[in-house]
Amino acid sequence: MGDRPAFSDLMKEIKTGKFIFTGELEPTKMVDISEIIHSAEAMKEYVVAANVTDGPQGMAYVNSLIPSYLVQEKVGLETVYQMTVRDRNRIALFGDILAAACVGIKNVLALTGDHSALGDNPGAKPVFDLDSTQFVYQLSKMIDENTDVYGNEIETGKVEMNVGIAANPNASPREAEILKVGRKVAVGADYIQTQTAFDIDDAKDFIKELSRYNCPILLGLFPLKNYGIASYFDKYIPGVSVPKDLLKSLKSAKKSIKDKKERNKKVDEINLEFFVPFIREIKKSTQAAGIHCMAVHYERLFEPLLKEFR
């Protein structure tokens, strides 16, 4: 980490050394984003900031900038504006960052993005003018030197943002991933938010290996709202496998409990049994700065999940 100031509340909180939490919001094909606003309100008390996703799985969704802005404005919860390099060239990325700065966005997460061929507009021309590392480089130019990548100056005002990057604890070979993260940190990342982890030993090793870069890490966790989501995640999210026992208990809850309220209660219990000790262990024995909790549409879990860590 360089000398970049902490512009965002997220970065300021990280710098205090407190073990913190971030959440995640996933706007989809929508014009009315009240659902996103409600989710943000529900998690506001528990997280320092919420990431707003940018067309995950290559899907054509509402641009993440406006929801990022509206959540900050209407809910008062700071957002992490996720940006992929899949759909925008360096000119468009530059313009969107300026626009984000205009409306007070303080965090950007620089991502490659899932290939457009995987999404629901599969014939789209994939852009990838910059890769995520070059995007971090562009952001550094904008934030630290007040210019674009060619040195053309930003005429009025300053981009005051902190830059996050992703890392994948499930990646194999591991060394290729670790070194790549190093490359990204070297060009100006402020913090790392990882993909989801389910294996505690793997997660601990990963954090340990990344700690050589002295860049704060928020470990990604994905609470499983129901068996359907868990099994989809297990089958279709590359490189991620949900522990068999966890899948089994969720499946049996689905089958054996008819009453929705009771079933939800059981599912929450299963999640808490798995994730509370997980977080406890990460907090106790790693240098992680906190947890990036991707409990999308599962905000009710925040209260019981996080109460002992607040």
Partner 1 sequence: MIITKLKDIDEIYEMIKPYSKILIAGCDGCCQPPRSINEAKVLGQMLELKSKMNGKNLTWKAITVLRQCDDRIAGTTVRPYIDEYKAIVSLACGLGVSMLNRIFEDTLTFPAQDSMFGASENHGDNLYEQYCDTCGECLLGETAGICPVASCAKGLHNGPCGGQVDGFCEVGGYKYPCAWIQIYERLKKFNRLDLYNKFRPPKDYRLMTSPGHLELIQEYTNAIEEKEEEK
Is 91 an interacting residue with respect to partner 1 (CB under 8 A)?
A: no
Residue 258 neighbours by CB distance under 10 Å: 7
Minimum Å distance from CB 186 to partner 1? 6
- Footprint of partner 1 on residues 116-145 (CB under 8 A)? 117-118, 126, 128-134, 137-138
Interacting residue with partner 1 among 4, 15, 115, 283 (CB under 8 A): 115
Identity of the residue, 7 or 119, whose beta carbon is nearer to partner 1 in the bound complex: 119
Interacting residue with partner 1 among 109, 187, 207, 282 (CB under 8 A): 187
Helix, strand or coil for residue 109? strand
Identity of the residue, 94 or 274, whose beta carbon is nearer to partner 1 in the bound complex: 94
Residues forming beta bridges with residue 80, ordered by sequence position: 51, 107
Minimum Å distance from CB 52 to partner 1? 18
Q: Which residues of 20-58 are buried (b: 16+ CB within 10 A; e: fewer)?
A: bbbbbbbbeeeeebeebbebbebbbebbbbbbbbbbbeb
Is 173 an interacting residue with respect to partner 1 (CB under 8 A)?
A: yes
* Binding map of partner 1 across residues 228-247, x = CB under 8 A, - = no contact: ----------xx--------
Identity of the residue, 141 or 266, whose beta carbon is nearer to partner 1 in the bound complex: 141
Helix, strand or coil for residue 37? helix
Is 60 an interacting residue with respect to partner 1 (CB under 8 A)?
A: no
Angstrom distances, CA of residue 141 to CA of 10, 131, 213, 292: 21, 15, 21, 27
Is 46 an interacting residue with respect to partner 1 (CB under 8 A)?
A: no
Minimum Å distance from CB 217 to partner 1? 15
Is 175 an interacting residue with respect to partner 1 (CB under 8 A)?
A: yes
Name the residue type at position 9: D
Interacting residue with partner 1 among 51, 82, 195, 286 (CB under 8 A): 195
Is 172 an interacting residue with respect to partner 1 (CB under 8 A)?
A: yes
Name the residue type at position 107: N
Residue 248 neighbours by CB distance under 10 Å: 12
Handedness of CA 111, 115, 202, 51 (dihedral sign): positive
Is 180 an interacting residue with respect to partner 1 (CB under 8 A)?
A: yes
Both tokens of residue 173?
A: 């070979």
Helix, strand or coil for residue 21? strand
Identity of the residue, 31 or 176, whose beta carbon is nearer to partner 1 in the bound complex: 176
Residues 6+ apart with CB under 8 A from 166: 109, 111, 132, 192, 193, 194, 195
Is 168 an interacting residue with respect to partner 1 (CB under 8 A)?
A: yes
Q: How many residues bind partner 1 (CB under 8 A)?
A: 37
Q: What is the dihedral of CA 90, 92, 95, 97, to 10 degrees?
A: -70
Identify the burial level of 6 via C-beta atoms within 10 angstroms of its C-beta, where 0-12 means exposed, 13-18 middle and 19 or more buried. Answer: middle
Is 217 an interacting residue with respect to partner 1 (CB under 8 A)?
A: no
Contact set with partner 1 (CB under 8 A)? 86, 90, 111-112, 114-115, 117-118, 126, 128-134, 137-138, 149, 166, 168, 171-173, 175-177, 179-180, 182-184, 186-187, 195, 238-239
